Amino acid sequence: MNILLKGGLFITKLDGKVAVVTGAASGMGKAIATLYGENGANVVAADFNFEGAEAVASEINDAGGSALAVSVNVTERVQVESMIDTAIDAFGDLNILVNNAGIMDSFEPVGEITDEKWDQIFDVNTKGVMRAMRKAINYWVDNDKEGTIVNTISTGGLNGAHAGVAYGASKHAAVALTKNTGWMYAKKGIRVNGIAPGSIETNIGSSMKDISEFGMERAGMTHGLSPRIGQAGEVAEAALFLGSDASSFVNGTILTVDGGWTAGF
């Protein structure tokens, strides 16, 4: 159930909160944005795919929620900062930031990765996350407000065999961003946590081109151990927990959501 009973009245877990969700047009981002909307949040659905983000926002609004769509390229600082400003201007505040946008590499090991591909992966998966976090953190600190950040990372940010070198390194860096920021701002009432999904049924593979046969063969040795493919909604439930007051004493940690895949190694 996504509804809590309090004082004889039904309330939702994110009642009145303002949440920005990047990569919201599809997959895990869509599932998170939709679930947040169902639970009372005012949702800013942000994505490079603006038509997809608009469709998600419309679904939330049609279901009785409150949402708007924003076009954002997370590799562009001005667009990232404008995304946060739009949320504050439209809904009067920012309470939750979900950094979900990300792209895969093509399983290239270090001997095959190009400078261009390395920079592209880090611009989206790491620098874009940092910039959104920086903007949100400074808003909260400057206005003496509390806030919550949820970063979608990956089991590839905890292990070395789930993708190529660029994706793995970018997600390891996102773990450091999460833990460092959670520690630094803990006394400010700001929480920062991450989710490390395992194999999830999404369209992230659409960003993969010219897949490395060598890298895929090596990574495939571990992927074959996954008990099953997870669903985006299962990740969204974890994001709902981390974004809500139910996780009020959870900070600077990474929640693994992989069906037990990585428990054995």
Rounded Cα gap, residues 251 and 233, in angstroms: 22
Q: Could you tell me whether strands 3-6 and 9-12 are parallel, antiparallel, or unpaired per DSSP bridges?
A: antiparallel
CA 229/CA 244 separation, integer angstroms: 26
Report how far residue 130's alpha carbon sits from residue 185's, in angstroms, rounded to the nearest whole number. 15
Q: Looking at beta carbons, which pairs linking 47-50 to residues 24 or more positions away fall under 8 Å?
A: 47/22, 47/23, 47/71, 47/72, 47/101, 48/72, 48/73, 48/74, 48/101, 49/25, 50/25
User: Which one of the listed residues 36, 139, 167, 185 is annotated catalytic?
Assistant: 167
| Extended strands (E) in 118-248 | 147-152, 190-197
Tokens of 63: 């279901």
User: Quick check: is 185 catalytic?
Assistant: no
Backbone angles phi, psi at 38, to 5 degrees: -65, -25
Distance set, CA 109 to CA 103, 154, 155, 213, 228 (Å): 16, 18, 17, 10, 25
Identity of the residue numbered 17: K
Nearest C-alpha neighbor of 109 from the set 30, 264, 216: 216
CA angle at 74 for the pair 69 and 75, rounded to the nearest 5° = 150
**Residues annotated as part of the active site:** 167
